Structure formats: structure tokens, C-alpha cells
Amino acid sequence: MSSKVVEQHQFVSVDGRPTPVYSRWSYLARDPYAVTLAFRTRRGDWIEWCFARDLLRDGLTGQAGLGDVRVRPDLVAPGKLLVLELESPDGYALVELKRADVERFLAASERAVPHGSEGALVDVDAFIRQVTEV
């Protein structure tokens, strides 16, 4: 199985504040359905959010997500920005992302694992063995 990693570093604005937050997108072919978005804290730690790659793709064209992670085009600048909403018991964040950055990241992830071919990389039998050995 491939261990390709796609990463992109960018600045995002949280809750419309002028102070940018450093973020890192990553995609691992060994976990082909998921993407990870990490934010660096002031102390240099990383807070990671892992969610479906399809959710990110669907959020390019409309509201996507019902749970802790939701993505949609920005209402004011739909061709330029995406809005990512993150919610947890610890709080809520609204993050503005440059649409072009998200599209570039998705394109790179799809070069690693084309959309629709993710299932070929998932070993369901191995997963069941791992879960039942607990």
C-alpha cells in the first residue's frame, strides 16, 4: 500500500479576526477516505481535525456536513472563499479558507488516490481482524 502524503501549509482567518492561524492539510493514501486539517497553537502544538475527503469536495459547491465539521461556500465571496465550521465540546470555530487552496489540495490528494478508487486500498478483512482481537 502506498504511503503518499500530500501536505499544504496556508494561513486562514478564524472568526473573521485579522490574526491568521497557521494550518496544515494532509492526506495519506493508507487512509484514503479521510483528510486531516491541523492548526498550530501559540505554544507550537497542533490540533488536528480528521474528516471525510468527500465532505471537503462537496463543500465546494454547497452545504456539506451535519456533525462537528461543516463546509460551504462563503455567502459573500462564494467563488473565492469557503467556510469551515468546527464544533466540539470545547468550543466552536468558523474558519475562512481560500477556495483555490482547497481545490489545489483536493487535486493533489486525487493524484495520490483518484476519487472512487479508495475502496481498493482498504483491507476490510485486516480491519475486522484488528477490531476483533481487542
pLDDT in tens, 66-102: 999 999 999 988 789 999 999 988 888 888 888 999 9
Q: Residue 2 — very low, low, confident or very high, per pLDDT cuts 50/70/90?
A: very low
Q: Quick check: 10 pLDDT over 70?
A: no
Q: Quick check: 5 pLDDT over 70?
A: no
Q: Which residues pair with 21 in a beta bridge?
A: 12
pLDDT in tens, 20-64: 778 889 998 888 999 999 988 888 889 899 999 999 999 999 999
Residue 1 has a pLDDT of: 40
Residue 105 has a pLDDT of: 93
Q: Model's pTM, two decimal places? A: 0.80
Cβ pair 86, 69 in contact under 8 A: yes
Task: Give the residue with greater pLDDT, 126 vs 45.
Answer: 45
Residue 103 has a pLDDT of: 94
Grid look-up 478483512 returns 125
Cell of 115: 476519487
**DSSP per position, the chain:** ----EEEEEEEEEETT-SSEEEEEEEEETTSTTEEEEEEE-TTS-EEEEEEEHHHHHHTTTS-B-SSSEEEEE-SSSTTTEEEEEEEETTEEEEEEEEHHHHHHHHHHHHHHS-TT-GGGG--HHHHHHHHHT-
